[in-house]
Structure 1
């Protein structure tokens, strides 16, 4: 996994097999490093857990290093957010083409410690995208930053995700699901328990939201064990994002940089799943594994 050039060539070859486009940005002067190559560098660094650009440019092969400067790399990477998201969606559609069971959950993304939240200027360039304080019930902690809301298939492929302020309740993310899903079953924890939302999702898009009931509710009925077991898949994915992809370690100073880092990590994870399934025919969730 430590040979950057070999892994880069493998990932670039896979990306070129997914799309024929090599340039996504309109530029007056043709850059030496193509957009698809820059995205391949980005995803390779995430796969190899190089989340620091300073460290990345130390180990970057010479034939790539002379094509782009570090500051230009950072700016172009942020501008290519839409292209990275396009590639992630293309890969995702190939992995879960006929899936109709999904899992929804959220995870806290701390930007700075609470004690530094008042003096911190990270991601505060715009009010609507600025971080704030929130509470994570599963970890019983207050934090300052954002939440990532995500939906994955029962096999473990992220279908959809969004980033919100830390104070936004999980249940509000269900409003977005009506525009992205239909005729399916979505499993959630007790944080998504709402009879009104369940009825609205079913009547509008035939989405059945399966949420365990609280024991003090009228007509309490224990949820089937298979649903509880399948719901753990997204928790495992979140753990892998924290461990291998270090999603909770933040070096970004702006919200554009922050959201690009999050998207890159999710795309790298999905790409490794694609390689596992279609190239090596092995378990898609074996992420700490050689791809060359």
Structure 2
């Protein structure tokens, strides 16, 4: 993996299943936790971990949000890749969550170019239509009712908080209940961030958060509201434009990968969908040529 390098402009990831297998095999070998890769009887499995990882990545790329639909599609068009039952495929997939996490974190740690600025923001993960907000039972006790100011809507579900570089590469994320305010998740989200300066929107305005970030060694910049004292001098247009990078990246995550549409009904399945989406999205910052990962 010494040839793996980072590029600043993301492209649309276009790879086939064979390339995904090669990529997943390299990343699996380098980053997979030993308690998974060296578990007993792995050589006797009809379908390897690498093969399942490649299929999961293919599901994200093809934008099939339902695993049932993807499994039926795969049995029709690539039956030789799936000689196990759907229930077993689902169990094997969920057990690979630590592997996907390790691969994503390893790529970020070893190859991502972060720069001086990071951007933080959040997007909603509704679990039902708004007419069912008060009657929904899925994830009851974990999910709750929240409000999204950008879309001016109440929703039942979760909220995913993201931290990206200026190029849009996702450095970290965290998932909370929908009612949790962005400022309450910010300190946890930013912990370990390699960028000393953090840009955020007006939802993060507040002296307490500024002080919390200062104690952690970060400088937080948020635009002032128009009626706040000194707003005209403080709201530098260049910084506001840089902060909008994360909004365009959210559009890609929603439109190209359906990150807001999560049909899973288990905590591990929900987490796996988010993790796979972020992993595949970040892979778009690398080029694939002759089954190797290179940069222009």
Q: Which TM-score applies when normalising by structure 2?
A: 0.83
- Alignment partner for residue 34 of structure 1, among 35, 48, 53? 48
Matched, 1:46 2:60: yes
Q: 1:155 to 1:94 in 2, by over 3 A?
A: farther
Deviations 1:121-154 (A, max 9, x none): 3223xx3xx2111111111111111111000000
| Partner SS, residue 180 of structure 1 | coil
* Structure 1 unaligned blocks of 5 or more: 283-292
Deviations 1:85-129 (A, max 9, x none): 1111122234423522111000111101233234433223xx3xx
Matched, 1:65 2:82: yes
Which structure ranks higher in relative contact order (CA pairs < 8 Å, sequence separation ≥ 6)? 2
RMSD between aligned residues? 2.4
Match of 1:7 in 2: 16
Would the aligned equivalents of 2:198 and 2:219 in 1 still touch at CA under 8 Å? Answer: yes
- Alignment partner for residue 83 of structure 1, among 99, 117, 122? 99
Q: Which TM-score applies when normalising by structure 1?
A: 0.84
* Structure 2 unaligned blocks of 5 or more: 1-13
Match of 1:245 in 2: 257
Would the aligned equivalents of 1:182 and 1:206 in 2 still touch at CA under 8 Å? Answer: no
Q: Distance in 2 between matches of 1:35 and 1:257?
A: 17
Matched, 1:110 2:126: yes
Matched, 1:16 2:28: no
Would the aligned equivalents of 1:91 and 1:274 in 2 still touch at CA under 8 Å? Answer: no
The alpha carbon displacement at 1:166 in A equals: 0.7
Residues matched between the structures, number: 272
Match of 2:7 in 1: none
